[in-house]
């Protein structure tokens, strides 16, 4: 049993994101039970350095904007990763966000 279940849960949901799909912090937070916990999800991602298996580039904000791109070392690394997986990104913004949006509450039910 890990000490921070909240973080572990966030990482687990992020790992379940299929390739070519993206989700929002609020969706993960809502899946955990608190939509207001979106900031905690971002905090967990900030500690993503402790979890190399967490595709944080698949997690963006509600607007589909690549907010945490700066955490990848390069401001374009996140965009390149998403485009490499089949998710078109323009101006740090996911194209067809509504189509690529992956909701754990719906997919994982």
Partner DNA sequence: GCTGTGACTTTTT
Partner DNA sequence: TAAAAAGCCACAG
Cα(8)–Cα(63) distance, rounded to whole angstroms?
A: 25
Cα(21)–Cα(34) distance, rounded to whole angstroms?
A: 22
Cα(58)–Cα(27) distance, rounded to whole angstroms?
A: 12
Contact with DNA (CB under 7 A) among 13, 26, 82, 87: 26
Binding flag, residue 24, DNA (CB under 7 A): yes
Select the span of 18-26, 81-89, 90-98, 101-109 touching DNA (CB under 7 A).
Answer: 18-26
**According to CB under 7 A, which residues from 40 to 99 bind DNA?**
40-43, 45-48, 56-57, 59-63, 67-69, 71, 78
Binding flag, residue 36, DNA (CB under 7 A): yes
How does 75-89 read in b/e, with b if 16+ C-beta sit within 10 Å? Answer: eeebbebbeebebeb
Rank residues 43 and 95 by Cβ distance to DNA and give the closer one.
43
Query: Hey, how many other C-beta atoms are within 10 angstroms of the C-beta on 27?
Result: 24
**What does the binding site for DNA look like in residue numbers (CB under 7 A)?**
3-4, 6-7, 24-26, 29, 34-43, 45-48, 56-57, 59-63, 67-69, 71, 78
């Amino acid at each position: 049993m890990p000490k921070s279940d909240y973080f572990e849960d966030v990482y687990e949901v992020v790992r379940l994101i299929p390739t070519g799909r993206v989700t929002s912090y609020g969706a993960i937070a809502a899946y955990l039970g608190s939509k207001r916990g979106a900031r905690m999800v971002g905090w967990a991602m900030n500690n993503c350095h402790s979890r190399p298996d967490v595709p944080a580039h698949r997690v963006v904000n509600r607007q589909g904007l690549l907010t945490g791109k700066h955490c990848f070392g390069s401001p374009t690394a996140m965009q390149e990763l998403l485009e490499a997986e089949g998710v078109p990104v323009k101006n740090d913004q996911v194209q067809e966000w509504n189509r690529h949006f992956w909701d754990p509450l719906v997919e994982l039910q």
